[in-house]
Amino acid sequence: ILEDAVSSCYASQKVTQDLARILNIKPLKCSEFGKEIISRMRGMKRE
């Protein structure tokens, strides 16, 4: 799950660049932020 979160984080960076700037997210925090991205991506895929 953690690997998927990290992969999704980097894969979604183009979409979340603005959000990352607002939250001042650093690469080291990518895995933590990935969990939120995963949950949101899963919700979007189901739609």
Residues 6 or more apart whose CB falls under 8 angstroms from that of 30 comprise 6, 9, 10
Going from the C-alpha of 5 to that of each of 2, 27, 29, 47, the distances in angstroms are 5, 13, 11, 20
Q: Under 8 Å CB-to-CB from 14, ≥6 apart: which residues?
A: none
Q: Hey, what are 40's tokens?
A: 């949101």
Mean pLDDT by 10 residues, the chain (47 residues): 65 58 56 72 65
So what's the pLDDT on residue 47?
A: 46
Residues 6+ apart with CB under 8 A from 44: none
Q: How many domains does the chain have?
A: 1
What local confidence, expressed as pLDDT, does residue 6 receive? 65
Domain around 19: 2-46
Position 36 scores a pLDDT of 75
Predicted pLDDT of residue 15: 53
pLDDT of 38 reads 72
